[in-house]
Chain A
Amino acid sequence: MTLVVTVNGVRHERAVEPRLLLSDFLRHELGLTGTHVGCEHGVCGACTVLLDGEAVRSCLVFAVQVEGRQVDTVEGLADGSRGDLHPLQAAFREAHGLQCGFCTPGILMTLVPFLRDHPDPDEHEIREALSGNLCRCTGYQNIVAAVRLACGAPPPRA
């Protein structure tokens, strides 16, 4: 069937199978491979994207379900090809909030709406917000530090 969807502000019209996952549609049909797939059962959060501004797991959504809606992926956060970074991305770099970087796009897309709704979260709130995203590398400590930095807290030191 035909799917019309706006991804990162660009309208796409594609023929898709009803069973195609949104994660596979984004990665393999549109080539937006910044969205990663870690478990395909909705636990790890690596595939998180924004659907009409809210964080969803793209491995738990069929592509056909986003008909007429707006999807945003990590590629849309900033124009990375020009070296620009979204303030949250810059904070992650500053605070060493990523190691292998595989879970990072999903974590960024989880945090963008969280910070929109909670502009000045405390550490507990940040950890709660992150608790649906798995990271095996960092121990989360520097991710928390990065979020605080993005909210204007002083740069972290261990």
Chain B
Amino acid sequence: MAPPHRAPSGIGARVRRNEDARLLTGRALFVDDVRLDGLLHVAFLRSQHAHARLTSVDATAARARPGVVAVYTAADLGDYWRPGPLLVPPPPIAGLVFNPCTQVPLAKDKLRHVGEPIAMVVAESRYLAEDALDDIVVEADPLPAVVDLEAALAPGAPRVHDQLPSNLAAHVIQRKGDWARAKARAHAVIKRRFRYDRGASAAIENRAVAAQWDPRAEELTVWDTTQAPIPIRNGLAQLLGLLESQVRVVAPFVGGGFGPKIMMFYPEEVLVPWAAMQLGRSVKWTEDRQENFFATTQERGQIHDAELAVTEDGKILGVKDVFLHDTGAYDPYGLTVPINSQCTLLGQYDIPNYESEFTAVFTNKTIVTPVRGAGRQHGVFVIERLLDFAARQLGIDRAEIRRKNLLRPDQFPFNNEILFQDSAPLTYDSGAYEPALDEALKVIDYRRFVQEEQPRLRAAGRHVGIGVVCYVEGTGIGPYEGARVTVEPSGRVRLATGVGTQGQGHFTVFAQIVAEVLGVDVTDVHVITGDTREFHWGTGTFASRGAVVAGSACHAAAVAVREKVLELASRELGAAAADLVLEGGRVHVRGDPKGGIALGALALKANPLRGAVRPGSEPGLEATAYFGPDRGSTASGVHAMLVEVDPETAQVEIKRYVVVHDCGRVINPMIVEGQIQGGVAHGIGNAFYEQLMYDDEGQLLNASFMDYLLPTATDVPNVEVTHRETPSPLNPVGTKGVGEAGAIPTGALFAQAVEDALAEPGLEICEIPLSPNRLFELMRATHPPSPHRGAGDGG
């Protein structure tokens, strides 16, 4: 294809977003905004126990309450009661053990986590539905809860799933090379235990589902905050015995996804449409914030025992990592999260020998599925911290030990010889790692800080530190997405695609791709996403794949329309297609920009009321295309940070935060920067503010925004972003994903920089999240206070 004309609002342009006017004026439709005649409202009665035998549920009184239309328990669901589907089958790894236990719509005989739904009340108002929850009598015999990962696997531990011999959900070993030989040859072996704990995704919009059954059209419409409207449509059709074409699922504007909205067939998602059909009335459920803390999936509990074998000059010989992964009460999302941890540990480094073994563990806690980063954080934390400790032990600079081990440009594509979450080999498509490290060091002025500023400030009693970490993000995986591009007679272009949108700017970046190919302005491309009536092939928004996979499908559809435009314009203008230019919404012969024909006029001619459409051609200027990459594209970056720690309060002030990021070809730098800034804020939350605190009985102790701290505007620094563009060879745009990147290395960076600032001999930060309290405890543990030690003595 000839290189398309570069429209001013096309790929690479910093253009403002098409969707913003609707969002800013309050006109954008979110699921809870849906208004339907005769709408009924739902509240769920949820388990108070983390683990219990459910002996009886009596809803008699609730059913008798005025305003209550129906109450459903597991027994009332009949054949509709069945466990949810396994969403992601495990990759074909030799020796892999996987025990699928998926969530149930309403608990039947056992309660497996606090917040698991027991009964569903449908009433004339939400207020009445919640009133009726108090009328339901539940009898349950509490069982000891499975909370701690190691205790969960101990002989005789209580079992979350009675049909399994233990709480083992999965066991996976992946290897490359020969770890034992690497270890035997090593000058030093660095061995540590690392812990990462749970946080909440905390999208500001909670989940919601509304459903309407139209008995005349025999059509079910479901509005859902899902990141995957098309698989939800297909699954609901199957569950409800309808044709897929009888179910329309709309994911309108969604108020933040961050992963848990890609979890599919949540109990509420399965029950609300069913109830609408049962009752012949529209039904809506909107999660409240407390429910969100219990019932929306979570992530990040892992314990790693890791070893790094290095030469005397800091070259990596090999890594061994054995870890436990908390999958919560059920494992519907398969092994995506721990396999991401396993794969992402390899990072930007040439690690010739690797042995990684994990055990996924059932616990009596909320289900674990991907949350922004999806396991990648843990892998980055482990390798980056091991490199920090190796550097310290060997007397090598932290930046230099990284540089020494980076993959070189001539090693791409680089096969890591293990399988990624999408079952494809973990092969990096492209990358330029050393220049990005150099750039980050330059921007933050690493040398000067380490050699001049830090010694000077330390001498003055200040606790200042610097951190620098590298990471990769596997993005843009298959299977595929599609798009349909249509030029309307008005000259405006309609673009429909299956992926939904949760704030990533799809209405703009997809439009930019199409605008560039067709030579129209980005504001003339009208994007429709997340409505199965408009487009019904595709999977969803996950793994930072929207721009890569759906964006490439948009590109392919636009190129096909461009061919149709050129063919028709060639006939109309009597010129060879090669001599035609698409620009400003018109086609003209090169050198004659005043002549030519408007795209809208061509669209009319392509859909004639009389005459004949030429044999072998189709009416209209429209094309549908699909894009399915064989494997994902690997984005990368370097984060660096300056911090100052107050040793009296253990408060951390972030002085500077620098990101050098490479997501291949940038479609809209403004949007990429926004994604990174938001990711970093999420990462800072995970690192220092946010932790879901479960007690020994599996009770979540901080299930509100008063007790669970999201970072606010006074906690998050400005992030200085530099773009580097190493194109991906795997798609026509050359782009890679960016949605999760900002959140991935932040914990590792935080630990390194804070540790550097404190410079306490023996103080090693091997866990995330921290908090001022936890940091204070770690400082006390390594350096108990003495009565004569005051502030400012350097510590």
B251 at the interface (CB under 8 A from A): no
A134 to chain B: closest residue by CB: B710
Q: Are B704 and A99 in contact (CB under 8 A)?
A: no
Q: Are A101 and B16 in contact (CB under 8 A)?
A: no
Q: Are A141 and B677 in contact (CB under 8 A)?
A: yes
Q: Are A130 and B256 in contact (CB under 8 A)?
A: no
A22 at the interface (CB under 8 A from B): no
| Main SS class of interface, B | loop
Residue from the list A32, A89, A102 in contact with B30, Cβ < 8 A: A102
B257 to chain A: closest residue by CB: A100
- In the complex, A6 Cα to B202 Cα: how many Å? 34
Q: Are B714 and A128 in contact (CB under 8 A)?
A: yes
**Binding-face segment, B399-407, B605-613, B667-675:** B667-675
Q: Are B25 and A74 in contact (CB under 8 A)?
A: yes
Q: Are B503 and A80 in contact (CB under 8 A)?
A: no
Q: Are B25 and A77 in contact (CB under 8 A)?
A: yes
B204 at the interface (CB under 8 A from A): yes
Q: Are B21 and A85 in contact (CB under 8 A)?
A: yes
Chain A positions within 8 Å of B115 at CB level: none
Q: Are B25 and A135 in contact (CB under 8 A)?
A: no
Chain A positions within 8 Å of B150 at CB level: none
Q: Are B674 and A99 in contact (CB under 8 A)?
A: yes
Nearest CB in chain B: distance from A39 CB, A: 4
Question: With A40-B289, A96-B16, A96-B671 in contact, do A127 and B503 touch (Cβ < 8 Å)?
Answer: no
Q: Are B26 and A137 in contact (CB under 8 A)?
A: no
- In the complex, A65 Cα to B27 Cα: how many Å? 26
* Binary per-residue interface labels of chain A (31-48) against chain B in the complex, 1 for a CB within 8 Å, 0 otherwise: 111111111110110100
Question: With A100-B254, A130-B713 in contact, do A136 and B27 touch (Cβ < 8 Å)?
Answer: no
Q: Are B681 and A39 in contact (CB under 8 A)?
A: no
Chain A positions within 8 Å of B504 at CB level: 99
- In the complex, A81 Cα to B712 Cα: how many Å? 32
Q: Are A80 and B25 in contact (CB under 8 A)?
A: yes
- In the complex, A64 Cα to B127 Cα: how many Å? 16
Q: Are A142 and B677 in contact (CB under 8 A)?
A: yes
| Main SS class of interface, A | loop
B585 at the interface (CB under 8 A from A): no
Question: With A41-B706, A99-B504, A141-B716 in contact, do A89 and B24 touch (Cβ < 8 Å)?
Answer: yes
Question: With A136-B678, A136-B682 in contact, do A104 and B23 touch (Cβ < 8 Å)?
Answer: yes
- In the complex, A99 Cα to B33 Cα: how many Å? 18
Of B253, B254, B681, B721, chain A has the most CB atoms within 10 Å of the CB of B681
Chain B positions within 8 Å of A100 at CB level: 23, 203-205, 253-257, 502-503
Q: Are B25 and A141 in contact (CB under 8 A)?
A: no
A158 at the interface (CB under 8 A from B): yes
Q: Are B255 and A36 in contact (CB under 8 A)?
A: yes
Chain A positions within 8 Å of B720 at CB level: 158
Q: Are B205 and A36 in contact (CB under 8 A)?
A: yes
Nearest CB in chain B: distance from A45 CB, A: 9
A33 to chain B: closest residue by CB: B33
Residue from the list A73, A77, A80, A133 in contact with B21, Cβ < 8 A: A80
Question: With A43-B705, A96-B674, A100-B254 in contact, do A141 and B718 touch (Cβ < 8 Å)?
Answer: yes
- In the complex, A127 Cα to B714 Cα: how many Å? 6
Chain B positions within 8 Å of A24 at CB level: 126
Chain A positions within 8 Å of B682 at CB level: 136, 139
B288 at the interface (CB under 8 A from A): yes
Nearest CB in chain A: distance from B509 CB, A: 12
- In the complex, A33 Cα to B255 Cα: how many Å? 13
- Contact residues, A84-100 vs B (CB, 8 A): 85, 89, 92-94, 96, 98-100
Nearest CB in chain A: distance from B444 CB, A: 15
B720 to chain A: closest residue by CB: A158
Question: With A43-B704, A96-B16, A103-B204 in contact, do A139 and B681 touch (Cβ < 8 Å)?
Answer: yes
Chain B positions within 8 Å of A36 at CB level: 30, 204-205, 255
Taking beta carbons and an 8 Å cutoff, which residues of A are in contact with B? 17, 19-20, 24, 27-28, 31-41, 43-44, 46, 73-75, 77-78, 80-81, 83, 85, 89, 92-94, 96, 98-105, 108, 126-128, 130-144, 158
- Would you list the 8 A-B pairs with minimal beta carbon distance, nearest first? A34-B26, A80-B25, A102-B255, A100-B503, A101-B23, A139-B681, A99-B503, A33-B33
Inter-chain pairs besides A101-B19, A128-B714, A134-B710, 5 sampled, C-beta below 8 Å: A27-B32, A100-B203, A131-B713, A139-B679, A158-B720
Q: List 6 A-B contacts (CB under 8 A).
A: A19-B127, A33-B26, A33-B33, A34-B25, A127-B713, A133-B712
